[in-house]
Amino acid sequence: MNDDMLFEDEDEAGVAAPAAPTLAPWQVLIVDDEPSVHQVTELVMSDFVFDGRGVHFTDCYSAAEARVVLAQPNQFALILLDVVMESEHAGLDLVRHIREDLRNTNVRIVLRTGQPGQAPQEYVIRSYDINDYREKTELTHGKLSTVFYSALRAYRDLMRLERARNGLRRSIDAITQVCDSHNLRSFCSSVLEQASVLLGHDGEGICASRVNAFAAARMDGGLKVLAVTQAYADCQSEQRLDELPPAVREAFARCMREQCNHHGELYYVCYHRTRDDSESFLYMAFSEPIGVEEHELLAAFSANVAITYEKLLQREDSAATQDATVAILGEALERRGAAAGHHVQRVGLIAALLAGAAGLSPAEAEQLRLAAPLHDCGYAGLPDAVLHEAGPLSPAQWALMRRHCETGRAMLARSARPVLQLAASIAHEHHERWDGGGYPRGLAGQEISLAGRIVALADCVDAMVSSRPHRPAATLEQALAQVRADSGTRFAPDLAALLLQQEAALRELYRRLPPD
């Protein structure tokens, strides 16, 4: 069975095509100070049709009047423009206004004059951005039809190119927004939002996934709803297929059978199957029919979304594996030492809290949360007699204890992974002091890395509120009072001040993860 994405647009077999909607007419603006020119033009061209669309005329009798009309939102495809009106060059001046001031390069402009000697054809065509030049005597059906066919065909093709450019721009913007998402849930919410933006009109939708589709091939297999728009707000996170709204249920069921995306007149469904046989679904419903161009945009968008979705799943799985590995290692080391009650986990959380307060980015704070629990990994190189000594350490034992910083750095620095490199620096520096009285190198002030300063403070606070064989636990109030007393000597004063402002957050953390 092919594991790759299938994004094939399919018409629904056996469904009769809906009646073609009435197409809006082409908008034509006539600017001429002779009423008879308006009347004859409209009479002669009243039955003209191009691409299944008739024409609708708007009349202006001076260049000044035309400026007012053109200043309003409009979709004129063709302007039939007199040269001489309120002035000898009123029409030519209006051409420059349209092209240069209004920056409208799409509308087709055909100049018409009853006095060709005043505006020689070669000069006008060379000097002004017009598309044709005619004499007013050319008012027969045949000659006007030639002008209309040529102008409207050119306008149609220009608009197709513009829609394609705009569609590409919207697609790139939409994919950029989607790819900026930091987790699976925000990613899926962004997909729903951008799918509507892409087409330029509102849509309602639902994103869902089904884990290990190969093993759960039944139609009623469990789904996980990842994101919804307002119309589907009642959908629960964990739902069976038969509990979804009927239209969504039928669309997803067809995806599961055919393993490809499909669409109807008012909806579009994208299907993606990952390499590990999980499935993801995107259902979008629209209030008006979506055409071929919209289908193409959605297909291109969906293909990029599916690739991003799979990469995000892999990234989240990798991050979760890394997080779990660090936590398991930290807890194993915690059990060897004197600390108990998830000390290393709390140190990571306090370090991340302090990092955020210090202005580090969310990504940097998260890196610190992952790395901080390994600050005492050098304990792995210490004998149990030193780690579990109930009383004061002898000089020889203290010398061994101090070596755990170097041991931890050496262990972690072997990896090139950023989290472990950060953890190596923390392991090496978390017993340094702001005043230079720490170990192993006696660093002072900003010679100590910011991560080392943060974890030193987080580790000490949590150690104080945790019991040890040789002393009882302090209260949080007592621990914070000690931080205040040691600010500027043991701890960086700026970080100590920030931590003292986080008392409420610390209380909540210790409520969730109390020390033993």
Give pLDDT tens digits for 410-451.
988 998 888 889 999 999 999 999 999 999 999 999 999 999
Residue at token pair 């939409």: 174
**Mean pLDDT (whole number) for 455-474:** 87
Confidence category of residue 394, pLDDT binned at 50, 70, 90:
confident
Q: What is the dihedral of CA 157, 158, 161, 165, to 10 degrees?
A: -160
Question: What is the pLDDT, as a whole number, of residue 21?
Answer: 47
pLDDT computed for residue 511 by the predictor: 92
DSSP code at position 97: I
Token reading at 77: 């495809």
Contact 181, 55 (CB under 8 A): no
Residue that wins the pLDDT comparison between 172 and 468: 468
Using 50, 70 and 90 to split pLDDT, how confident is the model at 381?
Answer: confident
Average pLDDT, the chain: 81
Residue 489: band (very low, low, confident or very high) from pLDDT cuts 50, 70, 90 = very high
pLDDT tens profile 56-97:
999 999 999 999 999 999 999 999 999 989 998 899 999 999
- Torsion angle of C-alpha atoms 103, 25, 37, 61, degrees rounded to 10: -50
Q: How confident is the model at residue 217 (pLDDT cuts 50, 70, 90)?
A: very low
Which are the contacts of 42, defined by CB distance < 8 A and separation ≥ 6?
30, 57
In the predicted model, is pLDDT for residue 17 greater than 60? no
Rounded CA-CA distance 444/490 in Å is: 10
Q: What would the pLDDT profile of 60-70 be if each residue is shown by its tens digit?
A: 999 999 999 99
Q: How far apart are CA 17 and CA 430, in angstroms?
A: 72
Backbone angles phi, psi at 225, to 5 degrees: -80, 120
Note the pLDDT of residue 168.
58
- Do residues 295 and 286 make contact, with C-beta atoms less than 8 angstroms apart? no
Spatial separation of the C-alpha atoms in residues 454 and 372, rounded to whole Å? 9
Domains and CATH numbers, the chain: 26-162 (3.40.50.2300), 183-315 (3.30.450.40), 337-512 (1.10.3210.10)
Q: For 25, what's the count of Cα atoms within 13 Å in the CB-facing half-sphere?
A: 14
Q: By mean pLDDT, which of 349-358, 400-409, 425-434 is the weakest?
A: 400-409
Mean pLDDT of 156-175: 70
Closest CA to 291 of 269, 271, 263, 272: 263
> Worst-scoring range by mean pLDDT, 152-166, 312-326, 389-403?
312-326
The span from the CA of 448 to the CA of 320, in Å, is: 30
- 0.85 exceeded by pTM: no
Q: Confidence class of residue 39 from pLDDT cuts 50, 70 and 90?
A: very high
Find the radius of gyration of the CA atoms of the chain: 36
- One-letter amino acid at 208 equals A
DSSP 261: -
Percent of the chain at pLDDT > 90 equals: 40
Encode pLDDT of 258-282 as tens digits. Answer: 988 888 888 888 888 777 677 778 8
- What pLDDT, on the 0 to 100 scale, is given for residue 474? 92
